[in-house]
Amino acid sequence: MSQAERWQLARMLTELDGPGPAGSASPDPYLRDPQLGRERRLVLFISAGCCVILAGWIVVLAATLPHHFNAHHWRALWVNFDVLLLVAFAVTAWATWRKRQVLILLLMLTGTMLCCDAWFDVGTSLATSSMWLSIADAVFAELPLAVLAFTGARRLLTATVEAGMPVPARDQSPVGRETPDEQGRGAAPSLRRAPLAGAGLEEAFPGSRALERAERSRQTTSRGSGAK
């Protein structure tokens, strides 16, 4: 079956099933489990605190760090980093061969390490005899490989989101934004606009208090209507 035919079949099955009962939706785990709520607030507090502390630390470093510094264990530092990069490449190759979902995370990790490698290679070789070699290595090897890793991770994540998203009826409409093309392919979902999958994940954002109040208000109104 083509992609368009699969979407059409999924839409038809959704219409046959019809909307479920009002109480059939899985309860929000953040409202049901107080521990999850505390963990979410802790993560928000730590993330915001790290942003504030790191911003101040950057200012301190910019004002106090010397322009030149004799680094110790230079050889061990770079050898160990390249060993970790080798491990990242090997594990990424394994996940690609075995078709594991963790490949998305490994591609992001490997791409980030390649960008760090290029950044420090070029930054530490400026005004030295190896500067142009480091620049060529970054431009023709490290950064292109990082772009390939990030592109592959994005495509895999897009495919995962597309496979897990419900098929809206407008996808088959002539004016729908997700109308398949002539070859049966649908427009890929936008990762920037696609919501996180899973019940209760929206509670991990700062606007969750308003959502909680709205949910409690809705439940209170429903109980009041039922009592009448």
Per-residue pLDDT of the chain (228 residues; tens, 9 = 90+): 666 666 667 766 665 655 545 444 445 555 566 666 677 788 888 989 999 999 999 999 999 988 888 888 889 999 999 999 999 999 999 999 988 889 999 999 999 999 999 999 999 888 888 899 999 999 999 999 999 999 999 988 888 877 766 544 444 444 444 444 444 445 556 666 665 555 444 544 445 555 566 666 666 776 666 555
Q: Which residues of 34-48 are buried (b: 16+ CB within 10 A; e: fewer)?
A: eebbeebeeeeeeee
pLDDT number for residue 39: 76
Q: Tell me: the pLDDT tens digits for 140-195?
A: 999 999 999 999 999 888 888 777 665 444 444 444 444 444 444 455 566 666 65
Dihedral sign, Cα of residue 198, residue 199, residue 201, residue 202: positive
pLDDT number for residue 177: 47
User: Global pTM?
Assistant: 0.63
